[in-house]
Each structure stands twice: as C-alpha cells, then as structure tokens.
Amino acid sequence: MATDTKTKAGAKAAGAPAGAARMTMIQALRSAMDVMLARDPCVVVFGEDVGYFGGVFRCTEGLQAKYGAQRVFDAPISEGGLVGAAVGMGAYGLRPVVEIQFADYFYPASDQIVSEAARLRHRSAGDFTAPITIRMPCGGGIYGGQTHSQSPEALFTHVCGLRTVMPSNPYDAKGLLITAIENNDPVIFLEPKRLYNGPFDGHHERPVVPWSQHPLAEVPEGYYTVPFERARIVRPGADVTVLAYGTMVWVSEAAAAETGIDAEIIDLRSLWPLDLDAIVQSVKKTRRCVVVHEATRTCGFGAELLSLVQEHCFYHLEAPIERVTGWDTPYPHAQEWHYFPGPARVGAALKRTMEP
C-alpha cells in the first residue's frame, strides 16, 4: 500500500493542481480526519485498532503518532460501548469520530445509535446534541461473505435524527467527512470499501483501475467541505434518470456506456437529507427512472426513492420505474457476482425503460 509521501510526490509529478494531491479514498478520509484534528481540539478519533495499527483498512494510519493517544486511540471490541461513549463525549462538547470496523458489526450499537444519539436533541429540547460521526466500511465486491459485505443504509435512513451519507470518490469522501464532523447531529458515514483503492464498474474479471488515473482523485490537501443534501450529476443525459450512490454510481456509468443509452446518472451522496429537487428535475426531463443499490431489495432505500419519484413525477413518467438491487438473501461468498448488481443487470433495466 503506497504511503502518503509517495502518493503526493506522484500526484505533483502527474500535474495535480497546487495544493492538491492524488489520493485514494483511504488517503482522502485520513486527510479529512487529519485536517479536523488539527483544526478543532474537540475532535477525537477512536475505534477498534484505529490507533497504533491505523485501522484495518489503514484509514487512520499515522494519526496517533501525530496527535497522541489521547486524541486518536484504540477501544475494546464493543460496538455498543464505542457509540455509547461517543454520545456522552458529544453531549459534553467533544466531536468524536468513531470507526465501526465493518458496517456488518454495527448491530450491537443499534440501541445507542437509535435510542440515544438520534434522539438526544429532541428529548433534551435542544439542550444537548450528539455531534458524532460513525464511520462504517460497507458493501461487497471483496469476497467478504455475509458478515463483511452488508449495505445497511436503509436501517439508518429510517431513523429520525440521523444523517446518512455514502461517497463514491475521494474528493467527495474528504469533503463530506469534514461536513459530517462539523455537523451537530449524528452522521452515519458509510464507505464503500470496494472503492477504497479505485473506482469499480462491476467488471470483476478486468484489472483493477487505481484512483491515480481518475480526476476525482485530485483532492485539496487542506480544508474544504461538500454539503449534504446536494446530489451530483455524474453524467448528463436525456433518455432516463439513474439514481445511485456508492459503488453503484460506477456500475451505472458502465451500463450506460455499454448499452449506448443516454442516461442521466445522479450520485445522491447524501441519502438523508436527500436532494429531492435534483431527482424531480431530472426525472421530469427524462420521463424515465432506474434506481440502483447494492443492498437487499425488500425495504431497501430504493423503495423510498421509487415512492418519491412516483409521488412527485407520476404524470411525467412514460415507463414503469425500474429497480436494480441485491437479492433478498445473505451476501453469498461463493456466488458474489450473481448477487452484486453488475452492469449487465443495470443495462437490462435501462433497456426495459426504453421499450415502446
């Protein structure tokens, strides 16, 4: 794994703008925490193996050496304890950034997230808040099997008081994480781990493409933010709107290119709060919609997106809304690519929406 020094030197050699560097998503996330630890003495970072070891994916590598063991520290294997401690820290003025090693492990912390963090502002009539950020690597595509591949975003978007975010590239990852840390409400920050080291279009049989070859890897080295509630149009188009986030943004781009359909692809970035205006404006223009996510189908976040499109755009639609998702099964290790919504499945949905 390349170090920051090598990456930044390579970025400058490749002609990155002054004050910017070519970063992987891992390095961009680390840079966000680095910036905020330096900028705000109330920011602390902790979790399982995030201190001396630098995290299982090395997102916090070097931060403990730089800021000390009181600002960046390891915690026991107790997700409920991690989040419970963070709620208390936040109530007394700190801004904790907690890492849950895999999103699949958050379940023991559910009561602290839902009953405490999400409700604290309301139940205290605004006297206390929970300005905590909970980072979770999520999604499949790495042969992690059923306990290292889940996409639980819909469980969080259902909870009033939580903000839920999922970036798809290094630039957004850093800007959104800084926004999350500065936010006074609890933020669930989901990180598609298949995108940590490069964009992934769903073609697992092809060589891995590194972030160093993509313009969205050019990340300012200092402070900047990407606001919540503002989607990004990845690819303008006129035929059909594709609503996606995380890894599925790249899969949808591949599907549009392979089918030749002029799809407008929207990267939601923030799932809740949601940029509903961008969605409605696009669907009213294209008059067709495909929703794509990696999580299981039933009661997935795509069901909410579909309902919103139906509610706000019904009289503009010229075809049924399509939904491409994971299957309603545990994430299978041996049949990963049958479960993973690849470009062939997304492309088939695009074609169905265009049928006369």
3-state secondary structure of 345: helix
Q: Are strands 263-267 and 240-244 parallel, antiparallel or unpaired?
A: parallel
Alpha-carbon radius of gyration of the chain: 20
What is the rounded CA–CA span in Å between residue 219 and residue 207?
24
Give CA angle at 331 (329, 335), nearest 5°: 100
In the chain, DSSP assigns E strands to: 20-22, 43-47, 72-74, 95-99, 133-138, 163-165, 187-192, 218-220, 232-235, 240-244, 263-267, 270-272, 289-296, 322-326
What is the rounded CA–CA span in Å between residue 100 and residue 78?
10
Catalytic residue among 122, 148, 312, 333: 148
Known active-site residue 148: yes
Tracing tokens 């059909």 back to the chain, one arrives at 240
Q: Residue 21, CB half-sphere, CA atoms under 13 Å: how many?
A: 17
Cis peptide before 236 (omega within 30 of 0): no
Catalytic residues: 148
